[in-house]
Each structure stands twice: as structure tokens, then as C-alpha cells.
Chains A and B, each alone.
Chain A
Amino acid sequence: EAQVTQNPRYLITVTGKKLTVTCSQNMNHEYMSWYRQDPGLGLRQIYYSMNVEVTDKGDVPEGYKVSRKEKRNFPLILESPSPNQTSLYFCASSSTISAEKLFFGSGTQLSVL
């Protein structure tokens, strides 16, 4: 089954404790992206990657890091989480041929205390 898998689904952590949210896709997509979704603000792009070893900032990259060492994986790293990073996070991927069709993961609900 074609899918984007995010883990964990829910995460509660404390300020300053480094964490990683994993994202993996099984569709051989070139493009991958991370979004955060907040009430009243909608989906905002954090980072994206056009292919392996190619990443770039989105609209709200501060406080986040990413890497793309393999085509299927695109982890999101919060080196020193803060309460304002409490949000619902989505990973997404698409092929370059059908760039309009983004496949989203099920989301990670992060709470930073």
C-alpha cells in the first residue's frame, strides 16, 4: 500500500530535550516536505527536499532541522524544543511528474511542556 509513515503519532516532551520525528515513504517520490498545522494559521511549510541531499527552508524553518540521506526518509529534528513548537506536524511526499498530488502522513501531535 502506498503510504507516508510518520512516527510517533503522539509525543509529549519537555523544553530543551532533543527529539526526532521520522517520516518514510514507499512510493519512490523525489519531493518530501514537512508542515505544521495550527488553529487559525493553517498548514505552514517548515522544510522541503527536492531529492536526496537537497533540502531548503520553507516559511517557518526556525528551530527545526532536516536531512535527506535516503530517498525514502526525511526526518524532522527539533534540537531544543520550545513550547511554541507545540503543534500538529505532517510529512508529505509527491513525485515530480504529479507534483499536485501530495501524499500526507497521519500526523504527529507534539506537545512541548
Chain B
Amino acid sequence: QKEVEQDPGPLSVPEGAIVSLNCTYSNSAFQYFMWYRQYSRKGPELLMYTYSSGNKEDGRFTAQVDKSSKYISLFIRDSQPSDSATYLCAMRGGNYGGSQGNLIFGKGTKLSVKP
């Protein structure tokens, strides 16, 4: 079983839809959970990050972490064509140093929001 699993999609939704993106993981030592957004032919950019369990909201974006289920989600409300991108989840353990500090990425979900 891979450490981080993410449905690659592609996912196509109409403008204004609520989008749900998800990742599951197997390593219970993960404590930091991130979502990166990658536009075509660009490097990934950090969208949101959460420490441990709980929710975090930033505008139209909400990140959720359920450590008991080893499951994280990103919700996008009122999706826009400009949200069309690949979304990568990432996570790491609590200790920074050596390999524990490295981010482990999901494979990414390609999202297309149609006008």
C-alpha cells in the first residue's frame, strides 16, 4: 500500500459547483497536511496547510483532516474556471530533520471547471 493515495481524476465540473478532493494515507506519524495547486506547465504552489486534525477555511477553500480515518479533504465552493488545475495533497511527520521532514505527495487530481 502506498503511503498516500489520491484519485487522479480527471474531474470535470460546471462553474459554481462544490468540488471535493480527497487523499488517504497509511502513516499515522503524519501531522502536517498540505494542498498544493499546480497549473499547467507551472510548479506547484501551496494552497493550504493544516496541522493535525480539524478544519481550516480560506475564502472558497476548506481543508479537512480526519486523523482517525487517515483521510484528508479539500472543498472548493462556487468553483471557477480559474480553479482548473491539478491539486496535490502532501503530508509529513512532526519531526523536522532527515527524511521525516520530507513531504510525501499524492499523485494529484486534475480538475477542470467548465464555464
Using a CB–CB cutoff of 8 Å, the interface residues on chain A facing chain B are 4, 31, 33, 40-43, 45, 48, 50, 56, 58, 90, 92, 96, 99-102, 104-107
Contacts and interface: CB of A to CB of B under 8 A. Distances in A.
B105 interface: yes
A2 to B, nearest CB: 12
B42 interface: yes
Nearest to B42: A106
A99 B97 CA distance: 10
Contact of A43 (B32, B41, B46, B88): B88
Interface of B: 6, 8, 32, 34, 36, 41-46, 49, 88, 90, 92, 96-99, 101-103, 105-108
A45 B43 CA distance: 14
13 contacts: A31-B101, A42-B105, A42-B107, A42-B108, A43-B108, A50-B97, A96-B96, A99-B96, A100-B49, A100-B103, A102-B44, A102-B103, A104-B45
